[in-house]
Amino acid sequence: MTDPKDSSKDERGGLYLLRRFWVYVRDHRRWLLLGLLMIPVVAGMTVVRPLLLKHAVDVDIPARDVHTLRVTALLFLLAVVLEFISQAVQVYALQRVGHVTINDLRRAVFRHVLRLPARFFDKNPLGALLARSTTDIEALSETLAFGVFTILTDVVMILVVLGAMFYLDARLTLISLAVAPLIWILVRVFSARLRALQLEVRKAQAVQGGYLTEQLAGATVLQLFGRQRAAVAEFERLGGRYLRTTKTANIYDALLFSLIDGISALCIALLIYFGAPGVVDGSGLTLGLLFAFIDYLQRVFVPIREFSGKLATVQRALAALDRVYGLLDEPAEPRLPEGAPDPLHTWTGGLRVRGLRFRYRQDGPEILKGIDLDVAPGEVVAVVGRTGSGKTSLGRVLTRAYDGYQGSVQLTCPDGQTHELSTLSPDALRRHALLVQQDIFLFAEDVAFNVALGEPELSGDPEALRAALRAVQAEALVDERGGLEFQVGERGRALSAGEAQLLAFARVAARAPTFLILDEATASVDSVTEHKVQRAIEALLRGRSVLVIAHRLSTVRRADKILVMDAGQIIEQGTHDQLLARGGAYAQLYRMGLDAA
Amino acid sequence: MKSLLRFLRRYAARNLPHYALGLVALLLTNYAVVRVPALIGQALDVLGEAGPLAAAAGQSIALELILWAVIVVVARTASRILFFNPGREVELRLAIDLFRHLLALQRPFYATRKLGELVSVAINDISSVRLLIGFAGLQVFNVIVAIPMHLAQMWSTDPVLTVWCLTPVLLGAIYMQRVVSAFYGLIRRSLELLAGVSDRILETYSGIATVRAHAAEAAMIRRFDERSDAYLAVLLHLSRLRAFALPLLSFTGLIGAAIILWIGGDRVIAGELKIGALATFTALLVSLVGLLTAVAWVLTTVSRGLVSLTRVDQVLDTPTGVPPATDDYALRAPPALELRRLSFTYPGADAPVLSDISVDLGPGRTLGIFGRTGAGKTTLINLLTRVYDPPPGAVRVDGHDVLALDQDRLRAGLAVVPQDPFLFSTTLRDNIRLRGERSGHVRGADGEAAREGADDWAEVDDPQLTRVLDAACLEDDLRALPDGLATVVGERGVMLSGGQRQRVALARALYRAPPLLILDDILSAVDQGTEARLVAAIRGLRGRLAGDATEPTTAPTTVIVSHRTSVLEHADEILVLEAGRVVERGTHDALIAAGGVYARTHDHQGAEGDHD
């Protein structure tokens, strides 16, 4: 039983949600129309069949007219065929609308999430996002394909059948349906209870399944630490909960099922009991009418059994739709309109930063506290500093991974034109300014895909990809593995950490960005690979403006300028030798070993 | 079939009384189900003859009808409960046995099977087995009982009409059989494709930072749409089956009804049949169509259930491969560790991973293992801990062959920190202590269990815990976490960085204060500053960690694997492994003096991370 306040809120929200949802359905309205048009045909045929039966029993057979009986039988057959066809068309058309619409919605959600800013992902766990894009959408799909329209069909069917019954004999209809309200209440009560139980069963199942999966994944740890018995005991406890709930659910399920099974017989008995005198004394009630009523009664009850279950699906779907729209309403990053000119085509990598301040959350601490920084075209600037000094955030702000800085960040072009960072569309900016973070992410595709990442000019050009791999010392390695078509596995599992890093560098070489922001990874690799990685980084530093968040001595030495950051500010800058001579913060960091930083 | 019988004996035998009662209920149900149409027909006949007593006779039949209707409700409810509930019990018994056995199976087994597959056996296959003995069990008996009863009732009403109207229905049933199996195939396919769509979504969302930085949305959308559209295509195919093929059997039933009207009407006119028989026939036919539909689904459920049962059996019949213990020695004090010409080849591999390794390490001493990726370091650890069983006699603790010891007892005396540690999605505290009923419990998904006293010891002062947190350099990290030690670390510890996970695993091992401590390259993801502190902490274990400060204890015998020389400096002996062989050995200083691989690496790493 739902809270009345709740349901009223649902209804208002429900209408609003459905109106928004119509946007997706609209494109497929022809199939929808076709499906809806079939509903009255199906209902009509269902009503006609018993009428034909009545005619046969009341007219044809008593008249001993074999010929008209055959005509009636043929008409009956025709009604059966028509009913089958129209019902099939109706089911297919409506399910099709459901599936296609949901597919559109799923695609829309995916597209939208890809454009959400980094802050959104910080706040929302991946699991919840995945649930929005899969579980919630599936719940909608189920409802749209099976729930909403079948409810409509059922309602039409029941109304039409009841109409026909009242038309034939109102008194008898009332008598035979006398128990209907009682049944209705019983069914409502049972199915509400059943639904609650089924929900609990699903939850218990999910918990037990999740527990099992995790324990199996950590089986070796359990074994090494002698935890097997405790794990089995916990599994039994979870299973016991599941068992108790399902057993109770089974009882309600069985009752509900059997009740409907017995109820039409009960109604028919009432019909015969109260109709019998009328048939015998011939007061308008005929045998054929009884035949027709018996058929109708069998039609009315089955939809009632399924009705409340379907209604529940619809409610679940509305909740899911609400959550999905919550996601779709999250403001996304802007994108350059298709075919718009590239505002940065004359940019050569000059950057002027003045008084840059930044915080991740409005109420959070200030991470960057007034940074002034100039990068000349082609200059390599290394940033060093302890963990938490703000160096990683600087890179993120400069590529608009995070918005909302104060101060000015200007991209200066040789023709004197300047662009304020916040006015540039993120995708236009990132075509020229590339951020490579410490965490390397590889997709479960081949090497070519992982380097090109779908860039149209690169995807179809193996030579360009090879050149990029060559530039970062990765070509021989890739060939050893099986070339550009080598599948790197889920998250690049088939590759070592060093190899993955080289592929990420190849991405940079392939795109040849005007400005590179490189967050050097600290994860250690064996010395041979480390050597390759160093040489690859040196290659990437050439021929472009670079801001490198450095952990390697070799990288720092190669820089034109070193910035030392501390607590969101630049506290020293200069070349390696200058800073070392100065004996300040840099010299201290250097002595500790840079990657302690 | 044999496995089905064995399974029934083992798991369902104790529910025999339920099933016996259920069968009685089922017989009663079906008798009532065929009685009802017969009574309706009788009533119509009585009324059709319109004699003086017809109304009263009709009414008494109606009363009998009510009785049978009530019997149908009661008996059917009882039969469903009596068949379905034992099914759930059997499911749970089987699931527990399977889970227990899976936890007894060792790494060699897990190395050859995908986790997802095993989970699918434990969840999907077991639920198919439940359907086999619950739903299918009921339906099989139901069909066996009910179809003959229906046919008998029809035949006794009119044999000619029976033959006529059954013909289309039987054709429909045969067709249905094939459709249902195709339907299941498509359902399975659609679930696979849906999993593929989810994979894509998860992968793309996980890599969102990369996608964003490289402005690679278009490519991501393309590869997502591919999967999404393939899924849609299967769904549409399923819808076609649902719309056109699955209702065909009911359709043939209605054709049968038309035949009843045609042929039966003729026979009534000819006086060979009473009018009520038409109603009896139609009702029986509708009921029979329902039964035949059930047969089609049940046959498929049975065949799926049997396949699932074989899969479950396969796992249950896999021997654990753990040899029986013949030596009841247990590690209490730090043991002497000895390797005697240890060689090892992984099952199914050609080349040995380790060849001819010998070591003699005194109690409380530290052994360093140095080598590149692939040199065999982790294999060596796996043999020490019996994750893989070493050859007999090759690994000895205090002179006892580890292979002869009880596996659990051996492991109770050691703690290992693997390179890639596994954390459970519970609190940091439980992950470190790893004891008590709720270790590794899924909390996020189960609020109730989280409240049920999972934090029983949360408030208890645990000096040992404080000590290990300090030793593993976790205290600063704890301050940064939202709930400190009570922070739920998320699935596999996703809330933590790689370095933090390694240090939590280190704390977990230290917490046990084991006589034998094994550290597998645990500092690979921590920076050098932390590394220095951790190395100092591990060295400082002597006398501090293994118990109360008041109680004098000795340092654990320790094995440290690393590819960083700085970690190994203080080991009593270092083995340098290359392709599974010891190429150099000695103390840190001796190895530096020897000027080999170790010394060269040391110079290189020293220049890189020059400290002092």
A234 contacts in B (CB within 8 Å)?
437-438, 441
**For tokens 């064996």, what's the residue?**
A526
- Flag whether B264 is in a domain: no
Q: Is A242 on the interface with B (CB under 8 A)?
A: yes
Same domain, B459 and B568: yes
Q: Quick one: pLDDT at residue B457?
A: 45
Q: Quick one: pLDDT at residue A291?
A: 84
Same domain, B300 and B367: no
Same domain, B501 and B593: yes
- Flag whether B383 is in a domain: yes
Per-residue pLDDT reduced to its tens digit, A397-448? 998 888 889 999 999 999 888 999 999 998 889 889 999 887 788 998 899 9
* Lowest mean pLDDT, pick from A140-149, A448-457, B203-212: A140-149
Q: Do A76 and B244 touch (CB under 8 A)?
A: no
Find the radius of gyration of the CA atoms of chain B.
36
Of B558, B562, B556, nearest to B576 by C-alpha is: B562
B491 contacts in A (CB within 8 Å)?
127, 214
Q: Is B593 exposed, middle or buried (0-12, 13-18, 19+ CB in 10 A)?
A: exposed
* Contacts of A414 by beta carbon, 8 Å cutoff, 6+ apart: A346, A348, A350, A377
- Flag whether B382 is in a domain: yes
- Residue A595 pLDDT greater than 60, yes or no: no
In which domain, by residue range, is B311 found? 2-158+273-316
Q: Do B61 and A61 touch (CB under 8 A)?
A: no
Is there a shared CATH topology between the A10-169+309-333 domain and the A350-596 domain?
A: no
Per-residue pLDDT reduced to its tens digit, A169-228? 898 899 888 887 887 788 888 888 888 888 888 888 888 888 888 888 888 888 888 888
Q: Is A133 on the interface with B (CB under 8 A)?
A: yes
Q: Is B319 exposed, middle or buried (0-12, 13-18, 19+ CB in 10 A)?
A: exposed
Which chain B residue's Cα is nearest to A201?
B88
Q: What's the CATH number where B63 sits?
A: 1.20.1560.10
H runs (alpha helix) in A115-179: 118-123, 126-133, 135-142, 148-168, 170-176
Q: Quick one: pLDDT at residue B448?
A: 40
The Cα A124–Cα A136 span in angstroms is 16
Beta bridge partners of A566: A569
The CATH-assigned architecture of domain A10-169+309-333 is: Up-down Bundle (1.20)
**DSSP for residue B610:** -
Q: Quick one: pLDDT at residue A6?
A: 41
**B80: distance to nearest CA of chain A, Å?**
6
Q: Is B457 on the interface with A (CB under 8 A)?
A: no
Q: Quick one: pLDDT at residue A357?
A: 94
Q: Quick one: pLDDT at residue A410?
A: 93
User: CA neighbours within 13 Å on the CB side: how many for B163?
Assistant: 2
- Flag whether B169 is in a domain: no
The ipTM value here is: 0.85
**A212: distance to nearest CA of chain B, Å?**
7
Look at chain B and report how many structural domains it folds into.
Answer: 2
**A12: distance to nearest CA of chain B, Å?**
30
Q: Show contacts of B210-213: CB within 8 Å, 24+ apart.
A: B210/A437, B210/A440, B210/A441, B210/A453, B211/A114, B211/A453, B212/A118, B212/A401, B212/A426, B212/A430, B213/A399, B213/A401, B213/A430, B213/A434, B213/A435, B213/A436, B213/A437
3-class DSSP state for residue B398?
Answer: coil
Same domain, B480 and B356: yes
Q: In chain A, what are the domain boundaries?
A: 10-169+309-333, 170-284, 350-596
Q: Quick one: pLDDT at residue A146?
A: 66
The Cα A463–Cα A167 span in angstroms is 80
Pair of tokens at residue B84:
């379905």
Per-residue pLDDT reduced to its tens digit, A510-565? 989 999 999 887 555 666 677 888 888 888 888 899 999 887 777 888 899 999 99
Q: Quick one: pLDDT at residue B439?
A: 38
Which amino acid appears at position A579 of this protein? L
- Residue A290 pLDDT greater than 60, yes or no: yes
Per the CB < 8 A criterion, the answer to whether A503 and A493 are in contact is: no
Which ranges of chain B have pLDDT less than 70? 1, 373, 435-461, 490-495, 524-529, 541-554, 604-612
Average pLDDT value for residue range A349-370 = 89
**DSSP for residue B123:** I
What is the pTM (predicted TM-score) of this model?
Answer: 0.76
End-to-end CA distance of chain A: 60
Q: Do B212 and A215 touch (CB under 8 A)?
A: no
Q: Is B206 on the interface with A (CB under 8 A)?
A: yes
Same domain, B278 and B415: no
The Cα A137–Cα A317 span in angstroms is 9
The Cα B139–Cα B147 span in angstroms is 11
Q: Given phi > 0 = left and psi -120 to 50 = alpha, else beta, which region is B547?
A: left
Same domain, B474 and B444: yes
How do beta strands B414-417 and B516-520 pair?
A: parallel
Of A167, A176, A168, nearest to A274 by C-alpha is: A176
Same domain, B300 and B444: no
Q: Quick one: pLDDT at residue B305?
A: 87
The Cα B43–Cα B277 span in angstroms is 10
Nearest beta carbon to residue A230 from set B221, B437, B490? B437
Q: Do B88 and A247 touch (CB under 8 A)?
A: yes
Per the CB < 8 A criterion, the answer to whether A508 and A474 are in contact is: no
Neighbouring C-beta atoms of residue A82, cutoff 10 Å = 15
Q: Quick one: pLDDT at residue A48?
A: 92
Q: Quick one: pLDDT at residue B333?
A: 87
For residue A507, what pLDDT band results from cuts at 50, 70 and 90? Answer: very high
User: Which CATH number applies to A350-596?
Assistant: 3.40.50.300
Per-residue pLDDT reduced to its tens digit, A266-279? 888 888 888 888 87
The rounded Cα A471 to chain-centroid distance in angstroms is 38
Q: What's the CATH number where B590 sits?
A: 3.40.50.300
Q: Is A432 on the interface with B (CB under 8 A)?
A: no
Per-residue pLDDT reduced to its tens digit, A96-137? 998 999 999 999 999 999 999 888 887 777 777 887 888 788
3-class DSSP state for residue B245?
Answer: helix
Per-residue pLDDT reduced to its tens digit, A322-349? 888 989 999 998 888 888 888 898 999 9
- Flag whether B474 is in a domain: yes
Q: Do A247 and B85 touch (CB under 8 A)?
A: yes
H runs (alpha helix) in A282-417: 287-328, 391-398
Distances in Å between the Cα of B317 and the Cα atoms of B2, B313, B549 are 14, 6, 49
* DSSP-assigned letters across all residues of B126-178: HHHHHHIIIIIHHHHHHHHHHHHHHHHHHHHH-HHHHHHHHHHHHHHHHHHHH
B449 contacts in A (CB within 8 Å)?
207, 238
